[in-house]
Amino acid sequence: MLTLVLSLALSAAAPETTASPAPATTAAKPPKPKKICRSEADTGTRMKTRTCKTQEQWDNQQQDVGNDVRVGTGAIGR
């Protein structure tokens, strides 16, 4: 009981301070790139598989395939 009275007396005697909220320090996250899904038929099966990648990943895959074809045919280095 005595501790309750003392805590009330101290809280009433303490100067009021308004705590300002801390500024938001979280940096804005960059938006996630949109995924593009495509259905692809694999050789030897009737089942299609669904592959989801970003546009950049699809573009890089096309470039890689083109490079593989050029290297395989000997078109590079002539």
1-43 per-position pLDDT tens digit: 777 776 777 776 656 556 666 666 678 888 888 999 999 888 8
pLDDT at site 34: 94
On whether residue 22 sits in a domain, the answer given is: no
pLDDT in tens, 43-63: 888 899 999 999 999 999 888
pLDDT at site 59: 92
DSSP state of 26: P
Question: Structure tokens of 57?
Answer: 């990943």
Backbone Cα Rg of the chain: 33
Q: How many domains does the chain have?
A: 1
On whether residue 40 sits in a domain, the answer given is: yes
On whether residue 19 sits in a domain, the answer given is: no
State which residues form the domain around 48.
Answer: 33-73
Q: Is this model's pTM higher than 0.85 or not?
A: no
